[in-house]
Structure 1
Amino acid sequence: MAESVVFCVIQAVGELLLYEARYLHGIRAQLEQIQTKLRRLQAISKIADAKQEEDERIRDWVAETRESAYIAEDILDIFAIEISLRKEKSLLQKYAGKWKEYTSLHHLGPNIQQIEAKISYLESDWRVSNIITIGQGDILDYVSERRQQIRRTYSHHEEDFVGLDEDVEKLVAHMVNEDVDRCYHVVSIIGMGGIGKTALTRKIYHHTEVRSHFHAFAWVCISRKWREEEILKRILNKLVPENREHINGMNDISELVKELFEVQKMKKCLVVLDDVWEKDVWKSLRPAFPNRKLGSKVLLTTRNKEIALHIDTDTKCFSYEQRHLNEDESWELLKKKAFPGIHMEVEDEFASGDEYEDARSSMDSFHSCLSDEETDEILGNVNTPRSECDIQDIRVQEDIEKIGKEMVGLCGGLPLAIIVLGGLLMTKSTLNEWRKVHQNFNSHLRRRRSLQENGIVYEVLALSYHDLPYQVKPCFLHLGNFPEDYEIPTRKLFQLWAAEGFILSDCHPSEEQESIMDIGERYLRELVQRCMVQIKVEESTLCLKSCQLHDLTRELCLLKGKEENFLIRIPLSDDPKLIGSSSSSSNSTSTSLIHRLAISVDSDIEKYFPPESENLDHVRSAVFFSRLMNRKHLQSTLELLCNGFKLLRVLDLERFDFGEKLCKDIGNLVHLRYLSLRGSQFYKLPSSIGKLKFLQTLDLRVPYHACLTIPDVLWKLTQLKHLYLPPSHKSTSKLQLGSLINLEILKNFDTRVSDFRDITKLFKLRKLTAILCVEMENLEAIYNSLTLNANRLRDSSFRIRFDFDSPRELTLLHQLVGGHHLRKLDLVGRVAKLPGHSHFYERITKLTLRNSSLEEDPMVTLEKLPNLYSLILRKNSFVGSVLRCSARGFDQLRTLEFQGLSFLEGWIVEEGSMPNLLRLTIDECISLRMVPEGIKFISTMREMLIFNMPESFKERVRLVEECGNNFYKITVRETNRDHITDFENPQGNTFSGLLRIVSPSLVPRDWQNP
């Protein structure tokens, strides 16, 4: 990864030369010379990175180059900060400090000379050693070519699955079998890492028979550093999410075990325990699972056959040992990944005349992975054989197939290895490129140092890693920061990459209009395309939501990160490694060569940083993962971080308790680009936060109850691109944000705290979430400003506190709901008449109405919104007596909530309405007589929550079974209780939905038992 680090130094030098020319008196020529030499060194490093596995001398040279580049980057960072601070001085201070400026440059001069000498030495050492000859073609930059190759779509459909269909059906049959004498309580899937246990389990978990058989589902991944309390809470939160607050407050394991046991007695639950490493996991969890007579079951995956045998000693367990793919299945899977609709370019050779029919015949064996159009394109646009026709030689396809089958044969039938290999080959479009991959693949296998069961997977992953573009390599290694099985939010990930210097928006002329998010997404696509990262997509917007690493891919991240001194990850431990300790103790961690720290902590962060901590000034990133809110005050540790980590660019301290006020020393971290305090608890932000001039991302989303006081200093942070204000905050004076002209994301902007006019000055905004509580004229000004910025603004969400009564006000409402960037809207106040559905922006996904006092049925309009996923009607937003949801209305609606509709008496749901509804909530609608009969037609609904409803209403609610098999859970919460009262349904006639009336006399005739 030396090439990536050298590239970052080139960028740092370039920024100094471009923006700070006036401060480079006496050293500008030296910097330009360094930049030229660095470009040559980058070209050498690119080849060295690819060849270092072949020669120990190359590995040593790469390591030395990488560390030298880090040192150079540190020196340049320090100088850039000195220049930034000097810019802030008054004119008098500038003249008074002139001698100090020259003194600073005088001290910098020798450092610059040291960098230049080191680069010259590395170049000379490379030439003298004659390690490898570099051809001109080897140093061509192919970034632009790769950018064109990357597809702009995501494989977010069902993952590739080859073979094992019969096995799936067999396992599903075991899952739904209720014969007490013949059924199994636990089903174990056993297999080595990378064989596809999780993919097979996911296939079963989402199978239609399984989804209809069980009433509640939980999937938890068991990390190697597992904790019984955490696993139990995660299972319960999935099975009864409405009890989340109560569950998270439980600290007694015996209480959690009892709670989980009772939940499974009340409803059929399927619990997946994915990737169990130790027998003690089941031994600890076993008391929480009832026997098979109650219908709940456990689906477990493990690499250790002994775990399944251990389970079978006290519980009836069916063990399935997952097989490897056979030769045909392996080739089929490789074709799916390597040939997603592309055709191969052919070099030098041509088919002609009599060879045409032979070419067409030989194509048959390869035709299964190509369309007819692609076949014709390969063979050439000819209808009859002609000797003079230059068509691409189909024998090349035979060569490609031969090469592909040889490589896939070495993958040992392991799906993960085949998928990653396919992702790598998908980026190769010529026969020569395939031959090169084949050569490198064989070379890697010959040099395999590890003979463990996952050796082949590691080698395929390593091959794919070495083939990554240099910009993407550090992004991939950075994923090792995150804990095992962690779902990584993509927006946060891109911001971290930018803060680390991995994303530079001006590195190519064609990227000038791209934001950090755009470039980060492009880099992540590269990893997704190569099957090195798994992703989740936001259903409503089809945007990337999160990504995750397979555990073997993560192990490669950590292995390479350690080899390249890129990252130290310290997992949760009762005996943690001490950071920066001079002690020679075995449990201490030297950070002399490490530039990034990722630490999982529990309750005592101080134990990781002893008072004698030292040698921390080179650490550039410190990311902390706290599993639960860390209640201990951390001022002393935070002071150590702020004063010891002098070059820190990233500080992520989420979910910690800092007491009353964050320590003022935070202002000492002048290099900081990323600061997140999300979910942490404190009530005052120090004014020293204004010293962080280079900050790009600031996340202050503390809990809502901690109303944060923010000093009016944020306007100084002119490099900010992403500002997340707390959901509840205040200031002694209006916050001035108009100077933050580089902002691309602004969250929780509140006109009661900030000057509304500032929104009109932020022309680079791409995402805006705001509370607007202003007068008519001001609201119009905001709308006009957003309209001017419509081409750049992509996503906006508003809570608007305003009464729309007059014609002028209603006209403004029509304009607001039609904004071509509006995603979510929360209207608080009277609305004389709701705009027609054609006035709403078609991509709005969430709408909330409060105190609207609408007399006309709003469903007539709202059910026509094509992408509405969530609708909430609260606090007398509707004051009529009847709501009607017509057939084919609310086609995309997933959640529906009625709260405080005091005048609502009846609700009619026609068959075909809300076909995708998942959750319904009815709360404090005191006049509503019953749940509509039409709910029975909604087969997708999984949950209905009822709060604060009269007894007469609750008596009519009951759980029902569908088609003799299918029944779901209805929960009723009473205001005077903390628990959920559940109603279990009897066997009998059913309908596709959730309701049956408790009192037989009130059951509609067509619902009653035959």
Structure 2
Amino acid sequence: RPQRSMKHIPPTTSPLVEEDEFFGPEKEEITKKLLLPESGAPASGWAHVISVWGPWGLGKIRLLKKLYNDFEIRRQFQCFAWVYMPADFETRNIMQTIVVQLVPSMRKRVTKMSFLELAEELISLQLENKCLIVLSDVRDLKNWRMLSVAFPTADKTRTRILLTTREREFAERIGGDVLGISPLDDKQSWKLFERIIDISFNQHAKKTLKEIVTGRCKGSPLAIAILAGYLNNTDTSNSSNSEIDSLKSHLQDEQPDITHAVQKIVSISYAHLPDKLKECLLYLAHLPSEGELHLDDLYVRWIYEDTISKAEQNPMEVAEHYLEELALRNLVQMLEQEQDGPSIGTFLSCKLHPLVREFFTKIGDADKVNTKEFMSVTVPRLPLNSRAYQLIDHPNLRSLTFAGTFEPPPEILTSKQLLVDFTEFYLLRVLEFYGIDFRGWDLPRGIGQLIELRYLSFQRCYLEKLPSSIGELILLETLDLRVEPNCIMAIPNVLWKMTKLERLYFPARFQCADSNNNKKNNRLSLKNLGELQVLVNFDAQVCHVRHLQAMTKLEEMSAVVVESHIDLDAILDYTRSSLVRRLSLDVRNFNCYSENTRTVLAKLFGCEALVSLHLEGYIKKLPTDVALSYKLVEIVLSGSELESDPMPIFGQIANLRSLVLCKDAYVGTGMKCGRTSFGELRSLKLRSLRNLETWDVEEGAMPQLMILSIEKCARLEMLPAGLEYVARLRELKIVSMPPRFEERLQGEEGEDVRKVKQLPRIIICSSV
């Protein structure tokens, strides 16, 4: 999916500061408790649960992430999971998440497992493997006890469970080792402030600020970061001492605890925001609190809620600018993409810290911005029954989100119909269902009558059939159907009625279902969607390719093409003659055995709008008479059977960030990365290249590489020596490689150890 990323946000707005000097003595204490005995059963008195307690804003999560990613700690374990624990979580869903993180290949299987089956599977995994499991923000003892049945007793497992909670008493009731997080001392507090602040002050102002930082921030990294963000974005660099003194007077009252200290500083920063930024923050505080929000999703919702006017010349750019302003003030946390792929190391999502969210939630109902009342309601993890309806019963409701997967209550399973009726919500403009399992029961009544609806989303839901009444939403501008990847959605042939659609996100897997005769082999008509700007997961087997010609405003598109070089050719021709500037293609079973297919292949690699290419099939050689798109950021080749080394060609693509070669994508024996090649590459995967024997990396190649994965390359003799010069490399993953290859990476005497000694994380998964 094409997405915007924040390019101008400094690193200090992501995790605050990661240096050891900003952590207390508890870091070393937890490290000692995490390190496992070299062999045999756990030592006497060993506890496999470590509870870390402390109020919000002290950096518990920051500390645990530091430990979770520590090389010396990770090398002790085989499987890893990090799970956020909402206050009212469903135990079965948490178990599913843990299993999938420990063993990603089980993603499809866990959806069919019962509670008992999941518990048994989790116990089995922990008995067979050394697991590190982090449970973030555990709050409910009853929920914890239900979940703990899936964790073996300490004498039977070498798993470590790290959990965070806010209350010491709660941590002690859980049992195991209990450790509290210490606030920063005065020296650490001032040093952190100096690290984040971008402006200088005279001696008087500096002295006053030091009193504020050490006396009013209560050792909270969050409070210090928000204070520095406020000062960095307020005109104080040339101000008089009186303005700094005024800030001190506003913070004069001693706050009883860290929570109040943080929220007092947040209130000062908020008070100095322009009204539009206040409005954006209040809206963000009403969105689902768990997890993160993709930037494009947030921008679109701001626009549809009239928080940002569509009359702006470019409302999406205005939205990006507003979020950047909030991030620079450290009121919003920007989250980097950490998984390997083309977006690694860039900001694609954001969230509010719980303490910041709590503050804005409290004032959201009372604070009217531009006399417009916020009517955004989130119903977290509640069944859509009469109880939920009572919570959202408001005639002026404009935005509504239902979040969280759950099992339907008995009355709904019996009636097959949800008790929420949307026919009364005439003003609703934004409706989101997130992560809800709709199997066995219907959507709420009246969705087709929401005539003012602009945004409708079913992200991460399990919804097998979309109702035909969806076609009545003629003012809808965004339709997001990206349900769970393993869910095949039947879509009625009514989308062509939604002539105002600007953004259409299809599921990963879908089919056309005629609502009258239930024919599933029809193709979806998109003939009237001339306003579309973004089209994601377009499937040439399910939709009419010829209808693309009517989409004269389309700018971003991702498509799936299976076998047909004719459909692929038509999409490329349309792209070349349209406004499309970002094209992502997933081309499957495409084999170049004829002149026609080779002609289409040349057009494919020469497509100027192409940003991402997944290509499966035999092509033998890359086109040499075309210039590859400089926009390409991701290439995945599978089964290509290239006879010549592709690295000299791919290495010259200026913006390539992710490269995957798998299943004999290259069948030669040698591969070389030249000294100036792959200047922007972040992630490289080599898998099942059965003939590869040697790989040479010259000094200066891949200077930005962060993740390298080598899997099932049975003849590869060793790691290239040039890896020791790749300074940013942070993870090496070796999977199912020959014993002689693994031995070169083990112990102090391993011949390849020096090549990767700078790496914080090395993962070796043997085939045995």
- In structure 2, do the counterparts of structure 1 residues 656 and 957 end up closer, same or farther at CA, with 3 Å as the change threshold? farther
- Cα deviation digits, residues 221-261 of structure 1 (max 9, x gap): 333334444443333322222223333433335x5444334
Query: Which runs of 5 or more residues in structure 2 are unaligned?
Result: 1-6, 515-521, 724-729, 751-760
Matched, 1:499 2:304: yes
2:475 corresponds to which residue? 694
1:907 aligned to 683, 686, 692, which one? 692
* TM superposition shift of 1:859: 6.4
Paired residues of 1:960 and 1:996 also in contact (CA < 8 A): no
* TM superposition shift of 1:499: 1.8
User: How far apart are the structure 2 equivalents of 1:217 and 1:738?
Assistant: 47
Paired residues of 2:397 and 2:427 also in contact (CA < 8 A): yes
User: How far apart are the structure 1 equivalents of 2:419 and 2:762?
Assistant: 60
User: How far apart are the structure 2 equivalents of 1:327 and 1:466?
Assistant: 27
- Cα deviation digits, residues 540-596 of structure 1 (max 9, x gap): 235432222222112113212243489xxxxxxxxxxxxxxxxxxxxxxxxxx9722
User: How far apart are the structure 2 equivalents of 1:191 and 1:704?
Assistant: 37
SS of the residue aligned with 1:796? strand
Residue 700 of structure 1 aligns with an amino acid whose one-letter code is L
Paired residues of 2:533 and 2:553 also in contact (CA < 8 A): yes
1:768 corresponds to which residue? 557
What are the residue-to-residue correspondences of 1:498-577 with 2, within 5 Å?
A: 498-507=303-312, 512=313, 514-516=314-316, 518-538=317-337, 540-541=342-343, 543-564=346-367
2:16 corresponds to which residue? 159
- In structure 2, do the counterparts of structure 1 residues 440 and 215 end up closer, same or farther at CA, with 3 Å as the change threshold? same
- Cα deviation digits, residues 746-795 of structure 1 (max 9, x gap): 012233444434434434333211134698787556434423556x6245
1:624 corresponds to which residue? 402
2:384 corresponds to which residue? 605
1:190 corresponds to which residue? 53
Paired residues of 1:614 and 1:644 also in contact (CA < 8 A): no
Paired residues of 1:960 and 1:995 also in contact (CA < 8 A): no
User: How far apart are the structure 2 equivalents of 1:856 and 1:768?
Assistant: 31
Paired residues of 1:661 and 1:685 also in contact (CA < 8 A): no
Matched, 1:208 2:67: no
Segment drifting more, 526-535 vs 294-303: 294-303
User: How far apart are the structure 1 equivalents of 2:387 and 2:694?
Assistant: 59
Matched, 1:455 2:244: no
1:481 corresponds to which residue? 286
User: How far apart are the structure 2 equivalents of 1:505 and 1:912?
Assistant: 50
1:412 aligned to 218, 221, 226, which one? 218
Paired residues of 2:83 and 2:94 also in contact (CA < 8 A): yes
Segment drifting more, 546-555 vs 426-435: 426-435
SS of the residue aligned with 1:599? strand
- In structure 2, do the counterparts of structure 1 residues 551 and 943 end up closer, same or farther at CA, with 3 Å as the change threshold? farther
* TM superposition shift of 1:674: 0.4
- In structure 2, do the counterparts of structure 1 residues 706 and 193 end up closer, same or farther at CA, with 3 Å as the change threshold? closer
Residue 839 of structure 1 aligns with an amino acid whose one-letter code is A
User: How far apart are the structure 2 equivalents of 1:338 and 1:959?
Assistant: 46
Residue 234 of structure 2 aligns with an amino acid whose one-letter code is K
1:827 corresponds to which residue? 615
Residue 596 of structure 1 aligns with an amino acid whose one-letter code is S
Matched, 1:674 2:536: no
What are the residue-to-residue correspondences of 1:751-900 with 2, within 5 Å?
A: 751-772=540-561, 782-789=571-578, 793-799=581-587, 803-805=591-593, 809-828=597-616, 830-831=618-619, 833-836=621-624, 839-849=627-637, 852=640, 867=656, 869-871=658-660, 873=662, 884-886=670-672, 892-898=682-688
Matched, 1:260 2:260: no
- In structure 2, do the counterparts of structure 1 residues 911 and 173 end up closer, same or farther at CA, with 3 Å as the change threshold? farther
- Cα deviation digits, residues 638-691 of structure 1 (max 9, x gap): 685331111110111243427698688433111001011344455554554343
2:3 corresponds to which residue? none
- In structure 2, do the counterparts of structure 1 residues 884 and 661 end up closer, same or farther at CA, with 3 Å as the change threshold? farther
Q: Larger Rg: 1 or 2?
A: 1
* TM superposition shift of 1:847: 3.3
Paired residues of 2:498 and 2:529 also in contact (CA < 8 A): yes
Residue 319 of structure 2 aligns with an amino acid whose one-letter code is G
1:729 corresponds to which residue? 511
Root mean square deviation of aligned Cα: 4.4
SS of the residue aligned with 2:731? coil
Paired residues of 1:860 and 1:884 also in contact (CA < 8 A): no
SS of the residue aligned with 1:563? coil
What are the residue-to-residue correspondences of 1:80-479 with 2, within 5 Å?
A: 151=8, 155=12, 159-161=16-18, 163-164=21-22, 167=25, 168-176=27-35, 178=37, 180=43, 185-253=48-116, 255-278=117-140, 288-291=151-154, 295-310=158-173, 315=176, 317=177, 319-339=178-198, 342=199, 397-408=202-213, 409-430=215-236, 431-432=238-239, 435-436=242-243, 439=246, 442-443=249-250, 446=253, 451=256, 454-479=259-284
Segment drifting more, 520-529 vs 157-166: 157-166
* TM superposition shift of 1:696: 1.6
Paired residues of 1:536 and 1:547 also in contact (CA < 8 A): yes
- In structure 2, do the counterparts of structure 1 residues 859 and 164 end up closer, same or farther at CA, with 3 Å as the change threshold? closer
User: How far apart are the structure 2 equivalents of 1:689 and 1:338?
Assistant: 51
Paired residues of 2:421 and 2:444 also in contact (CA < 8 A): no
1:717 corresponds to which residue? 498
- In structure 2, do the counterparts of structure 1 residues 628 and 895 end up closer, same or farther at CA, with 3 Å as the change threshold? farther
- Cα deviation digits, residues 136-166 of structure 1 (max 9, x gap): xxxxxxxxxxxxxx95556476532574457
What is the percent sequence identity of the aligned residues?
27
2:753 corresponds to which residue? none
1:994 corresponds to which residue? 764
User: How far apart are the structure 2 equivalents of 1:334 and 1:752?
Assistant: 57
Residue 31 of structure 2 aligns with an amino acid whose one-letter code is V
Segment drifting more, 420-429 vs 299-308: 299-308
* TM superposition shift of 1:623: 0.7
Matched, 1:940 2:725: no
SS of the residue aligned with 2:613? strand
User: How far apart are the structure 1 equivalents of 2:417 and 2:265?
Assistant: 42
1:56 corresponds to which residue? none
User: How far apart are the structure 2 equivalents of 1:477 and 1:531?
Assistant: 15
- In structure 2, do the counterparts of structure 1 residues 684 and 416 end up closer, same or farther at CA, with 3 Å as the change threshold? closer
User: How far apart are the structure 2 equivalents of 1:615 and 1:595?
Assistant: 11
User: How far apart are the structure 2 equivalents of 1:192 and 1:773?
Assistant: 53
1:970 corresponds to which residue? none
**TM-score with structure 2 setting the length:** 0.79
User: How far apart are the structure 1 equivalents of 2:556 and 2:240?
Assistant: 41
User: How far apart are the structure 2 equivalents of 1:635 and 1:494?
Assistant: 38
Paired residues of 1:837 and 1:865 also in contact (CA < 8 A): no
User: How far apart are the structure 2 equivalents of 1:848 and 1:742?
Assistant: 31
Residue 730 of structure 1 aligns with an amino acid whose one-letter code is C
User: How far apart are the structure 1 equivalents of 2:583 and 2:242?
Assistant: 46
* Higher relative contact order, structure no. (Cα contacts within 8 Å, ≥ 6 residues apart): 2
User: How far apart are the structure 2 equivalents of 1:839 and 1:825?
Assistant: 15
**TM-score with structure 1 setting the length:** 0.61
Residue 417 of structure 1 aligns with an amino acid whose one-letter code is A
- Cα deviation digits, residues 88-130 of structure 1 (max 9, x gap): xxxxxxxxxxxxxxxxxxxxxxxxxxxxxxxxxxxxxxxxxxx
- Cα deviation digits, residues 787-810 of structure 1 (max 9, x gap): 3556x6245334377554555653
User: How far apart are the structure 2 equivalents of 1:652 and 1:469?
Assistant: 28
